[in-house]
Amino acid sequence: MKKFLYLAILTILPMAAFSQDNYGKYLEGAVTLVDGKVVFNREVAARTLTAEQIFNTLSQWATLEYSGEDGQMISNDPAIKRITVRGIEQAQVRVGLFPSKIDINYFLLIDCLDGGCNLSFVRFIYTNNPASKDPNEQIKAEEYITDRYALNKAGTKLAGGTGDYRKRTIDLVDNVTGTIEETLAKYMADLENNKIDTGAPANQQTATTVQPAQHRIAKIRPIDKTQLTGFIKAPETEPLKVEGFANIIPEKIPGNIIKIVEDNGIFLTAVNGAGLDREIAGEGGLGVYDGAPSLFFSMKEKEIELPAETQSITFTFKNEVFKNAAVRMEEWMIIVCIPVVAGDNLIIGKIDQVLIK
């Protein structure tokens, strides 16, 4: 009898602890749907800053924040003052009796305006679900953290399991928003205290003041072009020629950023035109960096460091094709880049040549 009571208490305790953690901000209406998709919109005020100052400051912040295992900056387009990043954050959830760690994958769009910026958190996907036999299973937020799935019928309590996913997601959004607020507040304070030379170029101003946020560790470094002569000017090379491929301009690349990130294998295959002993696998996408079409590549493991004299790096895009009763990876696009950022697992290169089959 005592054993039965002990097991019953163990079963009830997590539920009791969970119910005490039901704060109002996690309940009905906390998760919004736009065209059937989970979207969190936030506004950050920075009344004394221009859109350009905010854009430059947050571009530097995003480059430091989202790298390696924490994600990547997809693009920062100065023409429209928009920054797009892909984030990956680990969180602890309770499913049943035991806590487990999951990965929260998402995209953040930052639109910079005079006096502030608008944040849009979209495309939330959860991986490493402890309740699944497949660690690679992807769970969409629309099927897990909406009011329908993560609240009780009365909308007054978080449901077990799915409610924890909802709580951790809302906490992530609030934490990132708070970090951006702190970053801009520090920049404004430095301006007021004359710690920034307003006569210097904007990108130099932000580089002296923006510090990595506290909830992640900076993992990349901009390449010092004054020390590496190979990076001062794009190499004067003849267009790469590969049988079966045609040269196109970057603007003609088919598809879109999200599709390229999700559906294709990306491999680092050559440095300075010389093929590597083996291809380096990674993930990434295409976007805009420092006003130029660029490729963002994050190695799955730290397997190579670019030498100082690097002038070009070549990436090969592959997808699965069915041939001769077998599935294999086949090349469909090759991109040659001039590297501008490198460090740890992340490489950002301005696109020099594009070849497509």
Tens-place pLDDT, residues 46-59: 999 999 999 999 99
3-state secondary structure of 233: coil
Note whether residue 104 is domain-resident. yes
User: In the chain, what percentage of residues exceed pLDDT 70?
Assistant: 71
Q: What is the pTM of this model?
A: 0.55
The per-residue pLDDT for range 233-243, each reduced to its tens digit, is: 344 456 777 88
| Cα 43–Cα 48–Cα 51 angle in degrees, nearest 5 | 60
Q: Above 50 in pLDDT, residue 228?
A: no
Q: Above 80 in pLDDT, residue 41?
A: yes
The per-residue pLDDT for range 171-185, each reduced to its tens digit, is: 999 999 999 999 999
Calculate the average pLDDT of the chain. 76
Strands (E), the chain: 32-34, 37-45, 71-77, 82-95, 98-113, 116-127, 139-140, 221-222, 246-248, 265-271, 274-289, 292-299, 313-323, 326-343, 346-356
Residues spanned by the domain of 281: 221-356
Chain centroid to Cα 182, Å, comes to 20
Note whether residue 340 is domain-resident. yes
Do 128 and 188 lie in one domain? The reply is yes
Do 181 and 138 lie in one domain? The reply is yes
Q: Return the pLDDT at 141.
A: 92
The lowest-confidence range among 18-27, 187-196, 244-253 is: 18-27
Q: Above 50 in pLDDT, residue 124?
A: yes
Q: Return the pLDDT at 285.
A: 76
**Closest by CA position to 108, among listed 97, 100, 99, 117:** 117
Note whether residue 8 is domain-resident. no
Q: Structural domain tally of the chain?
A: 2
3-state secondary structure of 274: strand
